[in-house]
Amino acid sequence: MTHPITLRVNGVPYPLGVDAHATLLNVIRDQVALTGSKEGCDDSECGACMMLIDGQPVNSCSYLAVQADDTEVTTVEGLAPDDKLAPLQEAFLVEGAVQCGFCTPGMLISATCLLRDNPHPATDEVRIALSGNLCRCTGYDGIVRAVLDVAASRSADPRSIARPAVSRHER
Amino acid sequence: MTGYIRANTVEEAVAALAAGARPIAGGTDLVVGARQGKQSLPDALVGIHRIPGLGAITETDAGIDLGTLVSHAAIVSHPAIRERYTALADASVLVGSHATRAQGTLGGNVMHASPAMDTGAPLLCLGGTATFATPSGDRTTDLVDLWTGPGETTAGPDELLVAVHLPASAQATGSAYVRLQYRRHMEIAVVGAAAAVILDGGAVTRAAIAITALAPVIRRVESAEQALTGTSGGAPAVEAAAQAAADAARPIDDVRASATYRRAMAAVVTRRAVQAAIARARGEEIPIPATESTQGSWR
Ligand SMILES: Cc1cc2nc3c(=O)[nH]c(=O)nc-3n(C[C@H](O)[C@H](O)[C@H](O)COP(=O)(O)OP(=O)(O)OC[C@H]3O[C@@H](n4cnc5c(N)ncnc54)[C@H](O)[C@@H]3O)c2cc1C
Ligand code: FES
Ligand code: FES
C-alpha cells in the first residue's frame, strides 16, 4: 500500500508515494535522488544518514518517511545553497576533517545544528554533540577543530538552515 | 487496518489503537528495533507525533505535567525540571545523541518498558503517575503499577499514554540519577539508580530510591529507603542504603555485564545517587548529569 506524502527537501516540494515502512533515508536517496546522505549502520548508531526535520536532527535510516510528511527536510545538499560552500564546509576542507568522506554529510548536519543552538561551544561540547556521528578515518581532531574554527570566526551561516528551530511537537 | 495513518487528535489515535494499530512517536525504539531485526514493524501503525498539545510541559500548583510527546531534549532544557525534578534531567541528557533526544519522547521511553530505560528510576522516585486515554475514558495509574516485565506493561493495546504527572516537590527536595556506562554517550545503562530526598532541619524525612537494569523492571527499594529515612544522611546511613539496594537487586548476565558485577556496582551507583540527591537538597551545586559529576573520587 502506497501512501501519498509531500516532503519539502532543501526548500523544494516533492509529492511522493511511499511504502508505510520505507525509511526517510531510502526515500531521499532513491525517490528524491539526493545521495549526499549515507547509509552506514542502518540502525541509528553512526549518524551518516543524519538530516534535519523542521530543524531538528534525525537519523533518517531509522525514521519512517510517512512520519516526515509535510515537513521541511534539510540534507547536506541544502547546506550549500547557490553552490557556495558554507563556512563549516570550508573549515572541514581547511582542517583536513574529511578523508573517505562517508561520515561527512552527517557530521556537517550534526555540527550545523550544534552551532545554531550553541554558537560558541567548548571543545567538550563539540565532542558530545558529535558523539552520534562515527568517523572511521580522521580520528575526529580535524573535525572538532573545524567546528571550533567556525565558532571562533562567527556562528554558522544562518542561511544554511532551512527553518528556525521549531519542535514539530509544538506546531 | 494496515499501513499507516496519522492521528490528529487523541480520539483518532485511540480509535486506531482499538482497530489494531500500534502507536509510533519518535520511532527511536520501534523503528530502530526493526532495523536491528529484533522485532519487525507492526503492519498497522498510527503516527501520534503530530497530535497538538501532547508535547507540552505544564506547571501547576499540583506539580508538573509532561505530555507523552515531550522529547528528551525538551526535558533537558526545561528550567523547572532542571531545578526541581533534577533526576529526570540527569536521565534524559544521557539518552543517545542529540538526534535521539530530539526525536525520542518520554512516552516512548515509558511504554517501551525496558528494564534499562533511563527515565524510569527518576520518575518512580519523583512519584510519577501516568494518564491514559482509553475507549472508555481517561484512567490514571501510578507508574509503580505500570511496568510488569521487560517490554511489558499493564496498559492495554487500546490505551494511549497521554501524560506523565509529577507531584509538586517540597522545599529542600533534591534528586539525582546516576548510571554506569562504557562510554559517555550513545550507551545504555549497565546499572543505574535514582534517589529523591526531602530534608528537614538536617534530617532525611523522606527518601525514595529506585534501581535500573538490576531487575526485570525498574523498581523502588523500600529497605534502602528505610535505611536512610530519619537519619542525618551521613556516610553510615548512605552506605546502609547502598547495601540494601545491592541486596535487593536481581541482576542478569548479558553482553554488557555479569550479574556479579552488576550487583557490586548497584551499591556504587546507589551511593552516588543518594549523595548527589542529599547535596542538591542542601542547595549544593551538582551539575547535570550527575553521572559525570559524581564519578571517580567524588566524596
Ligand atoms: C542510538 C540510541 C540510543 C538510545 N539511548 C537510550 C538511553 O541512553 N536511554 C534510554 O532510556 N533509551 C535510549 N534509547 C531508546 C529510545 O530513544 C527512548 O526509549 C525513547 O524515549 C523512545 O521514544 P520514541 O518516541 O522514539 O518511542 P517509539 O519508538 O515511537 O515508541 C516506543 C514504544 O512505545 C510505544 N508508545 C509510544 N508512545 C506511546 C503512547 N503515547 N502510548 C502508548 N504507547 C506508546 C510504541 O508503540 C512503542 O512500542 C536509545 C535509542 C537509540 C536509537
Ligand atoms: S545509517 Fe543511520 S545512523 Fe547509521
Ligand atoms: S572521513 Fe571516513 S568515516 Fe569519516
The predicted-structure confidence for B70-114, as pLDDT tens digits, reads as follows 999 999 999 999 999 999 999 999 999 999 999 999 999 999 999
Determine the 3-state secondary structure of B262 from DSSP. Answer: helix
Give residue A160's pLDDT: 46
Residues in a beta bridge with B147: B153
Backbone region of residue B230 per phi and psi (left: phi > 0; alpha: psi in -120 to 50; beta: other values): left
Shortest distance between the Cα of B28 and any Cα of chain A, in A, equals 7
Domain check: are A105 and A45 in the same one?
A: no
Q: Model confidence over A23-45: pLDDT tens digits?
A: 999 999 999 999 999 999 999 99
Q: What is the ipTM of this complex?
A: 0.94
Can you give the residue range of the structural domain that contains A148? 81-153
The structural domain count of chain B equals 2
The values of phi and psi at residue B13, to 5°, are: -65, -45
Tell whether the model's pLDDT for residue A166 goes beyond 70.
Answer: no
Which residue out of A37, A51, A61, A135 has the highest number of ligand 2 atoms within 8 Å of its CB and is therefore the one to mutate?
A: A61
Can you give the residue range of the structural domain that contains B71? 3-31+56-167
Query: Do B196 and B126 contact (CB within 8 A), yes or no?
Result: yes
Integer Cα distance of A92 and A32 in angstroms? 26
How confident is the prediction for chain B on average, in pLDDT?
96
How many residue contacts between A and B have a Cβ separation below 8 Å?
105
Integer Cα distance of B279 and A114 in angstroms? 31
Query: Considering the domain boundaries, does residue B276 fall inside one?
Result: yes
Domain check: are B194 and B223 in the same one?
A: yes
> Euclidean distance between the first and final Cα of chain A, in Å?
28
Instruction: Judge residue B219's burial from the number of C-beta atoms within 10 Å of its C-beta, 0-12 exposed, 13-18 middle, 19 or more buried.
Output: buried
Domain check: are B122 and B19 in the same one?
A: yes
Query: Do B170 and B247 contact (CB within 8 A), yes or no?
Result: no
Residues in a beta bridge with B192: B179, B212
The strand order across the sheet containing B191-200 reads: B173-180, B191-200, B203-212, B219-220
Domain check: are A93 and A119 in the same one?
A: yes
Domain check: are A56 and A41 in the same one?
A: yes
Shortest distance between the Cα of A43 and any Cα of chain B, in A, equals 5
Domain check: are A71 and A94 in the same one?
A: no
Determine the 3-state secondary structure of A12 from DSSP. Answer: strand
Asked if A20 reaches chain B (Cβ–Cβ under 8 Å), the answer is yes
CATH number for the domain including B249?
3.30.390.50
Boundary (domain end) residue, out of B151, B167, B183: B167
Integer Cα distance of A50 and A132 in angstroms? 9
Tell whether the model's pLDDT for residue A169 goes beyond 60.
Answer: no
CATH number for the domain including B23?
3.30.465.10
Give residue A83's pLDDT: 83
Determine the 3-state secondary structure of B4 from DSSP. Answer: strand
Q: To 10 degrees, the CA torsion angle through B242, B247, B248, B254?
A: 100
Domain check: are A71 and A93 in the same one?
A: no
pLDDT band at A81 (very low <50, low <70, confident <90, very high): confident
Give residue B299's pLDDT: 54
Instruction: Give me the residue from A63, A129, A167 closest to B27, CB to CB.
Output: A63
Instruction: Judge residue A1's burial from the number of C-beta atoms within 10 Å of its C-beta, 0-12 exposed, 13-18 middle, 19 or more buried.
Output: exposed
Query: Considering the domain boundaries, does residue B48 fall inside one?
Result: no
Count of residues for chain A? Answer: 171
CATH number for the domain including A12?
3.10.20.30
Query: Considering the domain boundaries, does residue A169 fall inside one?
Result: no
Residues in a beta bridge with B65: B58, B165
Give residue A171's pLDDT: 34
Query: Considering the domain boundaries, does residue B125 fall inside one?
Result: yes
Give residue B119's pLDDT: 98
Query: Considering the domain boundaries, does residue A43 fall inside one?
Result: yes
Query: Considering the domain boundaries, does residue A145 fall inside one?
Result: yes
Give residue B26's pLDDT: 98
**C-alpha cell, B18:** 482499538
The values of phi and psi at residue B19, to 5°, are: -85, 5
Domain check: are B92 and B110 in the same one?
A: yes
Query: Considering the domain boundaries, does residue B27 fall inside one?
Result: yes
Give residue B297's pLDDT: 56
Boundary (domain end) residue, out of B167, B185, B208: B167
Query: Considering the domain boundaries, does residue A160 fall inside one?
Result: no
Domain check: are B199 and B149 in the same one?
A: no
Residues in a beta bridge with B44: B3
Average of pLDDT values for A82-103? Answer: 95
Closest by CA position to A68, among listed A77, A59, A78: A59
Query: Considering the domain boundaries, does residue A171 fall inside one?
Result: no
Tell whether the model's pLDDT for residue A168 goes beyond 70.
Answer: no
Contacts of residue B236, defined as CB under 8 A and 6 or more positions apart, other chains included, come to: none
- The answer, as to whether pTM is greater than 0.80, is yes
Boundary (domain end) residue, out of B167, B196, B225: B167
pLDDT band at B2 (very low <50, low <70, confident <90, very high): confident
Query: Considering the domain boundaries, does residue A11 fall inside one?
Result: yes
Percent of chain B with pLDDT over 90: 91
Q: Model confidence over A102-143: pLDDT tens digits?
A: 999 999 999 999 999 999 999 999 999 999 999 999 999 999
Domain check: are B195 and B157 in the same one?
A: no
Domain check: are B64 and B152 in the same one?
A: yes
pLDDT band at B170 (very low <50, low <70, confident <90, very high): confident
Please indicate whether residue B45 or residue B38 has the higher confidence score (pLDDT): B45
Q: Model confidence over B227-284: pLDDT tens digits?
A: 999 999 999 999 999 999 999 999 999 989 999 999 999 999 999 999 999 999 999 9
Tell me if A60 CB under 6 Å of ligand 3: no
The structural domain count of chain A equals 2
Tell me if A139 CB under 6 Å of ligand 3: no
Query: Considering the domain boundaries, does residue B49 fall inside one?
Result: no
Task: Quickly tell me which residue has 527499594 as its cell.
Answer: B221
Average of pLDDT values for A39-68? Answer: 97
Query: Considering the domain boundaries, does residue A167 fall inside one?
Result: no
Domain check: are A88 and A130 in the same one?
A: yes
